[in-house]
Amino acid sequence: MSNDKSKDSRTRGPFQKFAIEVILVAIAQFFSRGRGLIVLPIIAKSLGVVNYGIYSQVLVTIGLFSPFALLGLHTGMRRLLPGEKDEQKVKSVFWAALAIIMFNSLVLVGGLYLFSPLLVEGVFKVDEAVFFLRVAAILIPVFVINQVFLEYFVVFKQSRKYMYLSLLKDITFIGLVAYFLLSRGGGILALIIISIVTTALCLFISAFIIIRQLGLCLPRLSGIKGLKPYFEVSLPLFIGGYGQWIVHSSDRYVIGYFMNMASVGIYSLVYTLCGTIIVLSGPIYFVLLPTISRLWDNDKKDEVKTYLKYTLKYIFILLVPAAFGLSVLGKQILEVLATADFTVGWFLIPIIASGMVILQSLSGVEYVLILVKRTDIILKVVMLTAVENIILNIILVPVLGILGAGIATFITYLTLAVIIWKVAARYLRVGLDYLLIGKVVFASVLMSLGVYFFNFEGISGLLITILAGALLYFLILFILKGISIREIKLIVGKG
């Protein structure tokens, strides 16, 4: 027991700084996800089921091409740059990596422009989607470069800038969507152009700040050669990125092939709603990798283990009740966010939300494999589960429709999480607190019963129900001693 206390005391200061960075990133990412929920009713009701399906399919396609532009280099930089002490090398590596990413992006824009008719004919089956896809291709370089710039701020402990820039982008996006879709009757094209403009605005401001801090230099051969260790980490993640795209997004193509765009729209909206779970864990994982990379490179493995232990604990505490709450309130949320046409997919929420909880709760241990530079293992596991996902979708969707896609998603997420957990344990074992998990599930069940029986109607009633449910859950968890005053003080800096 005394040993645990001494570890906590050693970790307290850095963990508080870690918590502050997580909070700053969380504010940005919560608002970003909240942005989606704010504009979702406007978009869904303005576009309708079929056009929303086309719009979702366009975004999924952009998501298919983006990993090739990045080549996984952004993750390689998050892993290796935190431990780099030579400022000149940081500068050389950063701009060399960005030049490669920019070149890849432009090649992809050209390829998507040329081959979009074939893609639309095979998947979209709606001729006008060719134009939308070609315009949306511009999102690839804008999105990936902006992603690298924003991650620069997190890598070098400037999360406040990350927060401000992300908020600027999202607030501008909300304002423009509300104006053009509600006042001007805009459609898919307006949404795509708004995404390009708001992301580009964030990109240019980020570039100005980074150039002032880091300086600007033309990529040199020495800088490109210096990327070799980054590629060793990133290339398996790049290839695995396509496997992840298959795992997370290919079901839309299978649904579109065997069914129709309306079914794609319904499934996409439900999946997007369940994706709000990820925003609860996203900020923690986003800050976690550069933080534990510094510790690992300084041979502080015990502290790495402590960070992972706390991360898993708080991920379970946050995600499990979120899944329960979504399952109970899902149909009502869909009615508020969209039209009645979308609510027929409410039964998918418990299935997809459960799968996301499992994947997100255990995916933090994937960072162990990145720390030991065994990203090739991640690649193999992801590709294996990608094949599993495709096979399951092809078998289940023709028989069960969108329910089959939901079941395939759950099984794939479970498989991916379990295998990664087992393999990572060979390098660093992080135990699960099964007693805590039991307390979290019990508190979530009691909260769900309270929410179900005392649910209020309307948008304001829904917000009150969510807030009351959250308060009830944390009260029960506190009574069960799932979280203590000492831990709360540790996070806020008074421990």
Q: Measured in Å, how far apart are the chain's first and last C-alpha atoms?
A: 17
Q: In which element (H, E) is residue 216 found?
A: none
Residue type, 3: N
CA-atom Rg of the chain in angstroms: 22
- Average pLDDT of the segment spanning 432-445: 88
Whether the predicted pLDDT of 493 surpasses 50: no
Taken in order 112, 114, 115, 120, the sign of the CA dihedral is positive
- Average pLDDT of the segment spanning 366-375: 84
CB 252 within 8 A of CB 267: yes
What SS3 class is residue 80? helix
Whether the predicted pLDDT of 197 surpasses 90: yes
The token pair at 431 is 């135990």
- Within 13 Å of residue 273, how many CA atoms lie on the same side as its CB? 33
How far is C-alpha 145 from the geometric centre of its chain's CA atoms?
Answer: 17
Nearest to 50 by CA among 295, 260, 305, 225: 260
Give the Cβ contact number of residue 310 at 10 Å: 20
Which of 201-210, 453-462, 473-482 shows the lowest mean pLDDT across its residues? 453-462
Give the helix ranges, DSSP H, for 156-187: 159-177
Residue type, 121: E
Nearest to 235 by CA among 71, 355, 83: 71
What share of the chain has pLDDT > 70, as a percent?
Answer: 86
- Average pLDDT of the segment spanning 117-124: 72
pLDDT tens-digit profile of 282-295? Answer: 777 777 877 888 78
The token pair at 308 is 């992972």
CB-based contacts of 151-157 (< 8 A; 24+ apart in sequence): 151/74, 151/77, 151/78, 152/77, 152/94, 152/206, 152/210, 153/206, 154/21, 154/25, 154/78, 154/286, 154/287, 154/290, 155/77, 155/78, 155/81, 155/82, 155/290, 156/81, 156/82, 157/21
pTM, full prediction: 0.67
Q: In which element (H, E) is residue 155 found?
A: helix 139-155
- Average pLDDT of the segment spanning 162-180: 87
The pLDDT value given to residue 2? 38
Place of tokens 């400022």: 87
Q: In which element (H, E) is residue 138 found?
A: none
Helices and strands counted in the chain (H then E): 19, 0
In sequence order, the 6+-apart residues with CB closer than 8 A to the CB of 221 are none
Cα(358)–Cα(444) distance, rounded to whole angstroms? 15
**Which pLDDT band, with edges at 50, 70 and 90, does 410 fall under?**
very high
**Max avg pLDDT among 123-127, 189-193, 225-229, 430-434:** 189-193
Whether the predicted pLDDT of 3 surpasses 50: no
Residue spans of the domains in the chain: they are 8-432
Whether the predicted pLDDT of 305 surpasses 80: yes
Give one DSSP letter per residue of 218-277, joined into a string.
---HHHHHTTHHHHHHHHHHHHHHHHHHHHHHHHHHHHHHHS-HHHHHHHHHHHHHHTHH
Give one DSSP letter per residue of 362-382, joined into a string.
HGGGHHHHHHTT-HHHHHHHH
- Average pLDDT of the segment spanning 2-26: 58
Q: What is the dihedral of CA 333, 336, 337, 341, to 10 degrees?
A: 90
pLDDT tens-digit profile of 200-257? Answer: 999 999 999 999 888 877 666 555 666 777 777 777 767 766 667 677 777 877 888 7
The pLDDT value given to residue 214? 83
The pLDDT value given to residue 122? 65
What share of the chain has pLDDT > 90, as a percent?
Answer: 10
